[in-house]
Every structure is written in structure tokens, then in C-alpha cells.
Structure 1
Amino acid sequence: MNQILSLVDRAAFAAGFTDRLRRAGLAVGQSDAAVFGRALGAVDRGVLSDRQKLYWLTRIALVRKHSDLATFDAVFNAVFNDAVFSLDPAALRATSTGPRGEQSLAVPGPHAADDPDTEGLPWATLPRMAAGADSADDEDGTPVWIPRPSAIDSIARIPFDQLDSRQLELIDSWLDDATQRWPRRRSRRERVIGSGRRIDLRHTLVRARHTGWEIADVAYRGPVWRQRRIAMVCDVSQSMQAYTTVYLHAMRVLSRRGRAETFAFATRLTRMTSILARSSIDDAVESASEKVVDRFGGTRIAASLDALLHSPHGQTLRGTICVIASDGWDSGEPEVMERVMSRIARRAFTVIWLNPRAGVPGYAPLVGGMAAALPYCDRLLPAGTVDDLPAVIAAIAEARRR
């Protein structure tokens, strides 16, 4: 029986089992059910094949009071003593009657939801559904636990140019949550920490004053970690029109999240940090679009990057994670791009290039500007759909020097 359990939908089993406990009178909260579901997903099949291990896993996750043990044991025994499992498909669709007239928890068949007398755990199929919203059986009906994709997963493969305003707000909210893990750098400063490796003599002697100058509590020093600066430079030329709005949302999240500098360029460079830091998404994007007067014009990637290096903000690239979002179509000479990118690579901590066309099957960086810049990039990542964004966030959070 337990071997069959190791092959079924664990989330459905967790939902059905906790519902059975609630109907037996055991107070099981949503957080307890969530913990039980995560526990089932974290263990291997060996635990699910051992009834004793499964009992303790379930008991630790769902039982909070000693007085609830009797109810829990009764439900657990009713589930696993009376359950009928077989490799016979006909037996999988059948139900059986256990002792004392109670129905056993066999695997429900495909029409179990339509049978009002069918009870039990949802193993590979759904539990029975209430007859309707106005039915008197709704209060006693078993809830239907239907796994649904998250809202962000539903638009994962939609191209950026096909997203509406509601979906863009959803991406903005998702990016805000995904950037909680900000890259860090080790500062030259040190402070007293418990996990330090160097003895702090001064603080050790201060502590010794309370123990008669006997060194009983040794203080250690360790490094101070600070947020690493991110500089994102976005191409807003005509060839990038389909992706610009989402990139502006990403730049806005970076500007509000931590130490970040954002720039946009087509034929000339425009600093966007102060504009995108506004609270309203629509106002920020609208103001950014108005300030970039050369939006959807030609493309001068190398000239714009060179202007950034020679601007007052050029020093912000030192030790930063430089993110360049562009398709690489440059109207300038490849030699200029190579010279500019070599300077950026020496000044920045790491260089990540986001190319929306890199996710197309058969793509090769053969364009003159992209081919000249590629040797100086640490990562070349696709960024044409929402499905590509998690890899971008992970690359920024786990950036390493080449």
C-alpha cells in the first residue's frame, strides 16, 4: 500500500488527509497543512514506503496537543488499515467496506466525484465535488483541491510585446519579490561578530574587566558585507520596442530595491534612476518615456556606453554588476564597441548582457556589435519572455568575477 502512496500526488494526499482530520474534529490549520505538504515533498520514497516513518512525519506536522493523539491515531489507522490498493485497474476504481460499516479509503475512480456516497482521500484523482452552490450538501462536502498554475506562470511564455497593463503590473510585483536577495560585497571594514576569525583584542580586554581580568569571553572580528551596486543600461531603440516596457519595469524595481543606477539609450544616453524611483508604476514609466526623447530611434550602443564612461556617473561602474540590455544592433564600428566594452569589463565587477533574441533556436551572436562585445561579457542571457527572467535574477544575485 505504501509503495502506491509513493507514486501518487502528494499534495492531493496532504489536502485530503488534513480534511479527514478536520471532519474527525481535529483542529488543523492552513499553516499545518502547508507544513505537511512541504514535508511530503521533501522526503524520499523510502519514507513513504515505511508506515512507521510516515506516521511520525504526519504526527509531527499535524498534531499540536497531546489530547488530539487519540483522534489522530484513529484517523491514521482508519486510512491505512482499511485502504484497499491493488495493481489491478479494476481494483483501483473500486471501493470496499471496512469493519463497523465504514467505507475504506480506496483509490477513487474517474467518476468518484459524481458519486455522493464516495468518500476518501484524493490519491490520483480529485475528491468528490459539492453538487452546487445552493446545495445543502455544500457544508459537508469535501473541498476540491485543484492544482492551478500561479498567475506569473500563466504568462511565462507570452512575448513581452503581447502583455497588457495588468500583466505588466503582475511582472512588476513578481520582480519586486524576486529581487529580495540582493548581491553583496565584502567591505574593508570589520566589526565584532560571533563567527569572526580574528580576535578583537580591544573588545576582549573590555569584556575581561567583568571577570577580574581573566579572559573568559573572547571577541572576534569579521568583515562587514554591503550591497553591491548594480548598473543597468537599457537599449530603447526601434529594434527593442517590443521589450522596452518590461525592461523599464525591471529598472524601476532595481532603482527602488537597493543601490542601483539605471540608464537608457538609443542615439544618446539618459539617466533614469531618479525618474524610475517614483511610487507609481504608470507615472514612472510615462515620465521615463517622455524624458527619453530619442526612444524608438536609431541605435548607437558603443557611443552611448562611451558617454557613460566619460560622464560624472562613469565612476559608478567601478565594482558594479553591469547589466546591458540590447540586441546588439549598433550603427557604429565594431572596433569602437570592442574598445568601450574592454574598459567596462576592467571597471565593472561583472558584465551581464541581456539579449531578447538569444532565446530563439539557432541564434548566434554574429551581428557586428554583439560579436565585438561578447568576449568582454561574463554572461549572455536571453530576456524575451517572463520565463527568462528567473535566470536573469539568479545571475545578478550570484554574480562572480570572471
Structure 2
Amino acid sequence: MTSPASPIGEARLAANLMHFARALRAAGLPVGPGKVLQALEAVEAVGLGNRRDFYWALHSVFVNRRDQRPVFDQAFHVFWRNPDLLKRMIGMMLPGMRVPPSPDQKELSRRVADALRGPGAAGEEQEKTEIQVDAAFTVSDRELLQAKDFEKMSADELAEAKRLMARIALPVAEAATRRHRLDPTGPRIDPRATLRRMLRQGGDVAELVRSRRRTRPPPLVVLCDISGSMSRYSRMLLHFLHALSNDRDRVYSFVFGTRLTHVTRHLRHRDVDVALDAVAGAVQDWSGGTRIGATLHEFNRVWARRVLGQGAVVLLITDGLDRDAGEGLGREAERLHKSCRRLIWLNPLLRWEGFAPKSSGVRALLPHVDDFRPVHNLNSLADLAGALERTGPRRHGGMRAWLKGMA
């Protein structure tokens, strides 16, 4: 048996790490040649005697954000499962390979399965499919992607969805401000401007100067849940928040799980990867529990006066599953609702037709929101953009009636 310290063993180890890095890159992780060299140095430092040390050595190199951990973990346990499986995956000789499930192994995500299967894995059948897609790629393919749940997308589909998401404009109906601008047909007479015109004309009575109120889009405040139950959607929605933050001014972004984190400054960076890395470094409670009432209390106490001025619109992105069973949530949601122009709740659970407000967190939130919408695919984001363009009275009473009817 070849020793790992021998030249042949080192060559095989380098080849295995290279194939593992390719699988991670195909699954969506940002892995380049430099990280392969760093991984080789890390493995040489810790050795191959302990599988746990080997796992964490590779983890320290390839994982930069918390949302990358599940992909790395699944890929690691499948790729390094046993020598026979490793040979088959390296050689790519069995494209239709199915790994028998074990009690300690979770079901593979589609991204990891596609990555480990590798390019060209379907042989002639895949080649035929590629030719067919190249010849008949129509609008219907994009429509299918727009209607597809983020949770069910492959790595390539997620990448395409992120590109489409960056193009979604989120207009908010303009609101009148206290300032005025000159307008010959305005409804208000501007006495100061009229007097100045009279002085310029030697005191003669001049034509009255008219004005009207200036309008501008109100501030947009986003509160995004990053707990474990929302992690699959929050990763995609952070890309959406990054596009919003770089498309318009006065966008304030917060993420929360068991605590509230202000990430507006991090999402201002033009490069989305740098921005999300900064967010991951700032957040300490990623994919943990959810304390919606406590985080809304902190927002109302610390941030409401700073960011909710001038009739802000608030987007609350959460599934409403609260670890504290809705304790204090209704009171804090009511205060938030009274402090903003509109409170819109985006909930991925609404993708199910049989959704019912059974949890205490959902029932505490519903009476205090103006709009209740799903957020699980590109179409739902486009519908949100259309809803924000329309102005209208609060739907506070409508939410109460809907909740009463579902009881």
C-alpha cells in the first residue's frame, strides 16, 4: 500500500483534493486553484491519521460562510465515504451512481448530487439533451425557472436565478414630503418666491408664483429571518437585498435569528460575494433559533426612530415560527405597524395551498400587517414589486377578518 508521505501518495492526495474542489465548485462554492493548494498544505499539516482533523482542515479552507456548511458537509461525507466510492467518483466511470443511504447521512441536496455526478455524467443521453436545449431554448424555460421554488433549484438554476434577481426593480409608490418645488400649475401660492419676483421687478405686482409638494419614494426597511427554518430562502433573499441596496437610496437591512444585526453597510458593497462575506462575518446566530418578539423589541427600541421616518415601508421576511411561542410578539408588531407607512409580511410557507395560521407566532403577527405574501420564487418577488407600486389604504381590518375566517 502506498504511503501518503511517498511521492506517489502525495500525487494521489493532490488529485483527490483537486476532484473534491471541483465538486464543491460545481455545487456553488467559490473554490479556485489557490484554495486547492491551501487545502493540500492544511492536510499535510494535520496528517491523515484522524478523519475529524482531516474534515476540519478542509472545512477551514473551503468554507467561508455559514450557508456553505451544509453543502460542504454533504459533499465531504459522500466524496470521502470509502475507497471504492472515491475511485468511482474520480474516474467518473459510473455516471448514474447512487450512494446507498446510511443512518448518519441526510438526504443529498440536488446541488451536491449534481456536482458529484459531474459534467458529462449522463453520456450520450446528456449530450442529446444539451443539443436539444441549445436548439429550443425559449421563453417557457425561463418561465419554469421563475415559478420554481428556491429550495428545489439546482446549482446552475440558483446561479441563473441570482442573475435574474439582480434585474428585478422594486419601485415604491412615491410619497409627498414637506418640501415644495416651483410649478406654474401648482395648487399652492409661494409667497416668498412671489415677493422675490416683485423685488426684482422694482416692487410692481408680479405674477403669483405657484408650487406643489415634492414627492420621493419612502425609505425601505427590510427585516430578514436567518434562522434554521428560513436558511434555504434567506441565502437567496440576501442576494435580492444586495441588489436593492445598490439600486436605490434609503434602504435599511437587518437580519435576525435570536438577535438583531444591522447589515446595511455590508450590503452596500458593489461585489455581492464581498458583501455576503461581510454579512456572514457580522452575524453570530446564523441558522439557529428564532426570537421574533425579542428582535422586534430591540428594533423598536434602538432603530425605529432612526430609520422609520418619512413614512417608511417595512418588509418583514419570516415564516413566523417563534421559539418563544409568540411571547410579546403581538405587542411589538403592533408598535412597528403604527410606526411605518405599510408593514408587508413575506412568508415562504404561503407557497402551500393548505397553509393555516396555527402557530402562535403567525397568529400574533397577522392582525398587525397590511399585506401577507409568499416569497419562495422569482414570480413572488415580481408580484411584490407590482404590489409596492400600488398605493391604497391600510389593510389592517382585512387581515383581522382573514385570521378570523381561518380560525
Query: Shorter-chain TM-score: what band?
Result: 0.5 to 0.7
The equivalent of 2:245 in structure 1 is 255
Query: Pick from 287, 291, 306: which aligns with 2:278?
Result: 287
Maintained 8 Å contact 2:181/2:212: yes
Write out aligned runs for 1:244-323 (5 A).
244-256=234-246, 257-312=248-303, 314-318=305-309, 319-323=311-315
The equivalent of 2:405 in structure 1 is none
Query: Pick from 365, 368, 388: which aligns with 2:380?
Result: 388
1:183 is aligned to 2:182: no
> How big is the shift at 1:175?
4.2
Write out aligned runs for 1:3-402 (5 A).
148-149=138-139, 152-163=142-153, 167-168=157-158, 170-179=160-169, 181-204=171-194, 206-207=196-197, 213=204, 215=206, 217-256=207-246, 257-312=248-303, 314-318=305-309, 319-402=311-394
Change (3 A) 1:313 1:341: closer
User: Which 10-residue stretch deviates more, 251-260 or 355-364?
Assistant: 251-260
> How big is the shift at 1:249?
1.3
User: Which 10-residue stretch deviates more, 300-309 or 280-289?
Assistant: 280-289
Maintained 8 Å contact 2:304/2:339: no
Counterpart of 2:145, as a letter, is: I
RMSD of Structure 2 on Structure 1 (CA): 2.8
Distance 2:164 2:337 in 1: 30
Give 3-state SS (helix, strand or coil) of 2:345's partner: strand
Change (3 A) 1:294 1:212: closer
Give 3-state SS (helix, strand or coil) of 1:178's partner: coil
Structure exhibiting the larger radius of gyration computed from Cα positions: 1
List alignment gaps of at least 5 residues for structure 2: 1-135, 395-407
Change (3 A) 1:399 1:254: farther
Query: Which protein has the bigger helix share?
Result: 2
> How big is the shift at 1:153?
2.6
List alignment gaps of at least 5 residues for structure 1: 1-145
Distance 1:291 1:400 in 2: 37
Distance 2:294 2:183 in 1: 47
Query: Scaled by the length of structure 2, what TM-score is found?
Result: 0.57
Give 3-state SS (helix, strand or coil) of 2:315's partner: strand
Distance 1:320 1:153 in 2: 32
> How big is the shift at 1:166?
5.6
> How big is the shift at 1:334?
2.5
Distance 1:210 1:172 in 2: 60
Name the % identity: 29
Distance 1:206 1:302 in 2: 54
